[in-house]
Amino acid sequence: MRTAILSQKSYIALRVCAVFSFVILMVISAYVRIPLFFTPVPLTLQTLVLYFSIVFLKRQAVFSQAIYLVLGAAGLPVFTNAGGGLLYFLGPTGGYLIGLLTASLIFPLFTFKKNSFLKNFCYFSSAAFCVYFFGIIWLVSVCKLSLTSALVAGLIPFILGEVLKIASVSLVTLKLKNRLSF
């Protein structure tokens, strides 16, 4: 009986460490950014970290995203360009931040037993659509861009990079399928 309790405590500790590891990875991925001269939205690795958090944390992925956003809202410089504070959410990337949280909440609910590269690719493409949907809506409603301008500034420059991120996480997930219950 005592061993089972210790094992459960160890499991919880491991999951908490995993959640905070993904918080740290989100911060690092925000700092790995490439600014583009024609858009206020930079290229980052945040969606890649999101996809991997969904794979490894499953339903706890939302905790890593929520903690990341709370740290940023509290003023810590965890967002791109060392940004932080509540006002950061009103900037051009605020919608993407909401999209990250939403995707981490919704997509772990939809898992499948048999996976293939194509299934994984479609799954993570749907998660990307969620993130970019909120980002584009935000650019239109808060930043007052037209839909065309929002697509040019907030989606089109990121498609190739997103396809590469989705392909890599789909392949890794496929290779780890025996070790993951994804």
Q: What is the pLDDT of residue 6?
A: 57
Instruction: Please indicate, yes or no, if residue 181 is contained in any of the structural domains.
Output: no
Tokens matching residue 91: 């900037």
> What's the alpha-carbon Rg for the chain, to the nearest Å?
17
Q: How far apart are CA 134 and CA 100, in angstroms?
A: 9
Tokens encoding 29: 């991925």
Mean pLDDT, consecutive 10-residue segments, the chain of 182 residues? 66 92 97 90 95 94 97 94 90 95 94 83 96 97 95 96 96 79 46
CATH number at residue 86: 1.10.1760.20
Is 170 part of any domain? yes
- Dist CA 26 CA 32 (whole Å): 10
Q: Would you state the pLDDT for residue 8?
A: 80
Is 55 domain-assigned?
Answer: yes
Residue 180 domain-assigned? no
Both structure tokens of 58: 């499953």
- Residue 128 domain boundaries: 2-175
pLDDT value for 182: 42
pLDDT value of residue 122: 94
Residue with tokens 């194509």: 118
Q: Whole-angstrom Cα distance, residue 174 to residue 182?
A: 9
Helix axes 117-141, 46-57, angle to 10 degrees: 130
User: Residue 93's pLDDT is what?
Assistant: 93
Cα separation, 143 vs 114, in Å, equals 42
Is 182 part of a structural domain of the chain? no
Residue 143 maps to a domain? yes
In a domain, 165, yes or no: yes
Give pLDDT, residue 180.
59
Neighbours of 11 (CB within 10 A): 10
Residue 26 makes CB contacts below 8 A (sequence gap 6+) with 46, 49, 50, 53, 64, 65, 68, 78
Tell whether 160 is covered by a domain.
yes
Q: What is the total count of domains within the chain?
A: 1
